[in-house]
């Protein structure tokens, strides 16, 4: 009985030693990975978070800008589909890039 108990205890100790060795190996790999990640982050520039204004006027301004950008994209898609030559397509692109800021200024005019 004591030999069987000693053998079971030895097997349990061996199993415990294997699990501890596996855990130590896993911890070593995680520490090495964390060290590599930290070294890589040290070489990259830090991200700068810029808080976006959250006022009602700013949200309306963002919506207007999004509408203007959407309009420019739709005009470009429409010109691409309707026009056959590249010169008119490029002319529409140039004109839309010229008039988009004008449209933004007209929409953001606070005097009216």
Radius of gyration of the chain (CA): 33
- Residue 1's pLDDT is 63
User: What integer pLDDT is reported at residue 55 of this predicted model?
Assistant: 84
Looking at residue 112, its pLDDT comes to 54
52-69 pLDDT, tens digit each = 778 888 888 888 899 999
| pTM exceeds cut of 0.85 | no
**DSSP secondary structure code for residue 108 in this structure:** T
Residue ranges in the chain modelled with pLDDT below 70: 1, 109-112
Find the angle CA(11)-CA(15)-CA(16) to the nearest 5 degrees: 115
Phi, psi of 79 (to 5 degrees): -65, -35
Task: Give the pLDDT of residue 6.
Answer: 85
Question: Using an 8 Å Cβ cutoff, are 104 and 68 in contact?
Answer: yes
């Amino acid at each position: 009985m004591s030999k069987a108990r000693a053998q079971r205890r030895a097997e349990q100790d061996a199993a415990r030693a294997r699990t501890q060795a596996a855990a130590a190996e896993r911890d070593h790999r995680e520490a090495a990975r964390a060290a590599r990640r930290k070294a890589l982050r040290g070489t990259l520039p830090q991200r700068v978070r810029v808080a976006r204004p959250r006022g009602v006027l700013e949200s309306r301004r963002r919506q207007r800008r999004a509408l203007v950008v959407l309009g420019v994209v739709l005009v470009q898609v429409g010109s691409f589909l309707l026009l056959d030559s590249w010169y008119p397509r490029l002319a529409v692109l140039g004109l839309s890039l010229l008039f988009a800021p004008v449209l933004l200024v007209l929409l953001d005019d606070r005097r009216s």
